[in-house]
């Protein structure tokens, strides 16, 4: 009851600065729907949908199908068994052919597999805690809440909206070209893309996301001549695999730092031999203190803001790798995952439109958020083809960790922003 009163106060007392009659209808629809949306969020969170839990991901997809089909969306499931994943839900609403086509992006999966002890939705006051409650099940509820409000307010009927909800955002299937083919195709057909990962907040202020860094992985392997440690550094044995690995990683640390780029080392092992599992998440080694190491392996990630920066850093890393210590070799392999959502004038124009909507609704304007503070997301797969705005989901914290939480008051606020923004974009004429 207390949350309902707070929601009513937020939605009904905010002064609108423009005489758009649909805004008041949107406010009323979202206020009336608040309890329903919170119940939907609880159901979604309590259904485990860890990326590798294919039936669970499909079950969440079925819940979203049940929400979208009554709104007039044609919904289909795209099976992704070939990539080792469950699949994606794609929903399409056809309206006025002359209006802009708006793409909404979210994801069904979470990082919490069925083995995780963090498994249930709990609520204390205005805070909800649960696996994926913000990333991205809160975002899914914002999408549903916005579209339901648009239907109630009469602004959905003429809108061309496509919703793509991937089932493997947290751990994309391979090959990526297959796993993201449908999303990329939807981006090429759209005039604007809106992504529903967590809202960026800092110091109580809300921000717009016009850029995200990429997310790719790399693997470094070094080898050395093995033998008794008394011969290390000499012409016969040289330096061994671990010293070569240390040289390379330290050179990365000293020579490569620049704004908006990071290159983390997540795993490392060295010995005689050193091993890594097929999934690239477990390493092992054997050896003795008096044996020069024959092998070393490291895995890490690389995050950059633009394709040009990515190419530059990969070239710089390769040059460092090639400068071998005596008696050693080294090879480096890159694994592409999620491309950058590079900043663009189109993205900034979308944020400007959102801020116009914010002013009309009496909500605070949202400045650009520092992309170095944001992770990669599926919006990176479409941003090269269509103006894209990210971070339109809920406010909260602790994503990817036990205790992940959201501020429930942000649900109706974000749904209102999105409903007004989607309606504004969909009502603009295609060029």
Q: What is the pLDDT of residues 51-84, one digit of tens each?
A: 999 999 999 999 999 999 999 999 999 999 999 9
Tell me what pLDDT residue 19 has.
55
- Give the pLDDT confidence of 127-171 residue by residue, as tens digits: 999 999 999 999 999 999 999 999 999 999 999 999 999 999 999
Residue 280 pLDDT grade (very low, low, confident, very high; cuts 50, 70, 90) = confident
In angstroms, the CA 2 to CA 84 distance is: 45
Q: What is the mean pLDDT of residues 9-17?
A: 45
Q: Where are the domains of the chain?
A: 2-212+341-426, 215-338
Q: Find out whether the peptide bond into 175 is cis, omega within 30 degrees of 0.
A: yes
**CA torsion, ordered 253, 259, 261, 262, to nearest 10 deg:** 40
- 3-state SS, the chain, equals CHHHHHHHHHHHHCCCCCCCHHHHHHHHHHHHHHHHHHHHHHHHHHCCCECCCHHHHHHHHHHHHHHHHHHCCEEEEEECHHHCCCEEEEEEECCCCCECEEEEEEECCECCCCCCCCCCCEEECCEEECCCCCCCHHHHHHHHHHHHHHHHHCCCCCCEEEEEEECCCCCCCCCHHHHCHHHHHHHHHCCEEEECCCCEEECCEEEEECCECCEEEEEEEEEECCCEHHHCCCCCCCCHHHHHHHHHHHHHHHHCCCCCCEEEEEEEEEECCEEECCCCCCEEECCCCCECCCEEEEEEEEECCCHHHHHHHHHHHHHHHCCCCCCEEEEEEEEEEECCECCCHHHHHHHHHHHHHHHHHCCCCCCECCHHHCCCCHHHHCCCCCCEEECCCCCEECCCCCCCEEECCHHHHHHHHHHHHHHHHHCCECC
Supply 306's token pair.
């633009």
Which residues are paired to 331 by β-bridges? Answer: 221
Supply 236's token pair.
């016969």
Tell me what pLDDT residue 279 has.
78
In angstroms, the CA 69 to CA 179 distance is: 24
CATH of region 2-212+341-426, choose from 3.30.420.10, 3.30.2020.10, 3.40.630.10, 3.40.1160.10: 3.40.630.10
Tell me what pLDDT residue 431 has.
75
In angstroms, the CA 95 to CA 74 distance is: 12
- Give the pLDDT confidence of 283-332 residue by residue, as tens digits: 999 999 999 999 999 999 999 999 999 999 999 999 999 999 999 999 99
Q: pLDDT at residue 385 above 50?
A: yes
Exposure string of 157-171, with b = 16+ CB inside 10 Å and e = fewer, is ebbbbbbbbbbbbbb
Tell me what pLDDT residue 20 has.
84
Supply 77's token pair.
């499931």
Tell me what pLDDT residue 337 has.
84
In angstroms, the CA 326 to CA 312 distance is: 27
Q: Which residue has the tokens 């805004």?
A: 23
- Give the pLDDT confidence of 207-256 residue by residue, as tens digits: 999 999 999 999 999 999 999 999 999 999 999 999 999 999 999 999 99
Strands 87-93 and 160-166 turn out to be antiparallel
Q: pLDDT at residue 6 above 80?
A: no
Q: Find out whether the peptide bond into 193 is cis, omega within 30 degrees of 0.
A: no
Higher pLDDT, 5 or 359: 359
Q: Find out whether the peptide bond into 136 is cis, omega within 30 degrees of 0.
A: yes
* CA angle (92, 95, 101) in 5-degree steps: 65
Topology (CATH) of 215-338: Alpha-Beta Plaits (3.30.70)
Q: What is the mean pLDDT of residues 375-383?
A: 96
């Amino acid at each position: 009851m207390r949350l309902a009163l707070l929601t009513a106060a937020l939605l009904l007392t905010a002064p609108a600065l423009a005489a758009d009659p649909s805004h008041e209808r949107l406010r009323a629809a979202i206020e009336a729907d608040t309890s329903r949306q919170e119940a939907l969020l609880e159901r979604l969170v309590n259904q485990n949908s860890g990326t590798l839990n294919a039936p669970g991901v499909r079950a969440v997809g079925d819940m979203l199908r049940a929400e979208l089909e009554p709104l007039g969306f044609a919904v289909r499931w795209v099976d992704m068994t070939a990539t080792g994943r469950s699949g994606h839900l794609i929903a399409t609403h056809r309206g006025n052919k002359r209006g802009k086509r708006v793409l909404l992006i979210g994801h069904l999966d979470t990082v919490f597999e069925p083995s995780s002890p963090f498994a249930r939705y709990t609520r204390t006051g205005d805070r909800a805690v649960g696996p994926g409650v913000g990333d991205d099940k809160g975002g899914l509820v914002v999408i549903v809440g916005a579209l339901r409000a648009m239907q109630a307010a009469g602004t959905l009927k003429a809108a061309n909206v496509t919703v793509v909800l991937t089932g493997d955002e947290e751990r994309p299937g391979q090959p990526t070209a297959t796993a993201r083919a449908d999303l990329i195709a939807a981006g090429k057909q759209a005039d604007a893309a809106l992504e529903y990962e967590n809202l960026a907040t800092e110091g109580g202020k809300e921000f717009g996301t016009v850029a995200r860094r990429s997310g790719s992985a790399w693997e470094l392997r070094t080898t050395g001549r093995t033998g008794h440690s008394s011969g290390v550094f000499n012409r016969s044995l040289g330096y061994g695999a671990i010293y070569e690995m240390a040289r390379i990683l330290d050179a990365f640390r000293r020579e490569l730092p620049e704004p908006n780029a990071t290159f983390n080392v997540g795993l490392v092992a060295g010995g005689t031999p050193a091993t890594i599992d097929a999934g690239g998440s477990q390493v092992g080694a054997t050896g003795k203190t008096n044996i020069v190491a024959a092998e070393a392996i490291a895995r890490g990630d690389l995050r950059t803001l633009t394709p040009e920066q990515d190419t530059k850093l990969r070239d710089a890393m390769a040059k460092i790798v090639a400068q071998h210590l005596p008696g050693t070799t080294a090879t480096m392999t890159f694994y592409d995952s999620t491309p950058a959502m590079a900043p663009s004038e189109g993205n900034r124009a979308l944020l400007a439109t959102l801020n116009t909507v914010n002013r009309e609704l009496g909500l605070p304007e949202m400045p650009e958020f520092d992309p170095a503070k944001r992770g990669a997301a599926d919006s990176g797969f479409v941003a090269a083809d269509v103006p894209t705005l990210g971070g339109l989901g809920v406010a909260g914290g602790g994503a990817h960790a036990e205790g992940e939480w959201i501020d429930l008051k942000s649900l109706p606020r974000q749904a209102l922003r999105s409903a007004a923004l989607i309606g504004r974009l969909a009502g603009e004429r295609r060029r």
